[in-house]
Amino acid sequence: MKTTTDIAQQNCRLDDYDIISDVLGCHKTLVKLYADAIIECSDEKLRELLHSLFNECTRDQFAAFNYMNEAGMYETTCADCEQINCECEKYCSCSANA
């Protein structure tokens, strides 16, 4: 006989996608928070530590993305060369006018 706890645990099970997408989202948020902390920090040693943590977090984020991408959970499409060149021209002309 299943108890209420057994039923609740069964209903709350997370699959692989749920777990890894949560990991990816957390790492994306952490990268932003580390970047904010770095630019607000004036102590050189603390900045070095934050940079190190930032770099580690970006590596972990990319590993989570690659895992999802290779498993077909996070599909990406490649932009065509014409689209990339158009965007480059648009942004390069903005910086030249500044």
**Res 8 pLDDT > 80:** no
pLDDT value, residue 83? 87
CA distance linking residue 90 with residue 37, whole number of Å: 31
Return all residues near 50 (Cβ < 8 A) that are at least 6 apart.
34, 37, 38, 41
Q: How does the average pLDDT of the chain come out, rounded?
A: 91
Torsion on CA atoms 11, 17, 23, 29, rounded to nearest 10:
-100
Return d(Cα 11, Cα 75) in angstroms, integer: 28
pLDDT at site 7: 79
For the segment 61-84, what is each residue's pLDDT rounded down to a tens digit?
Answer: 999 999 999 999 999 988 889 988
- Looking at residue 2, what is its pLDDT? 81
Q: Which pLDDT tens digit goes with each residue over 44-64? A: 999 999 999 999 999 999 999
Name the pTM for this structure.
Answer: 0.70
CA-CA-CA-CA torsion sign (28, 34, 40, 44): negative
CB atoms within 10 A of CB 49: 14
pLDDT value at position 96?
Answer: 61
User: Using one digit for the tens of pLDDT, what is the confidence trace for 15-36?
Assistant: 999 999 999 999 999 999 999 9
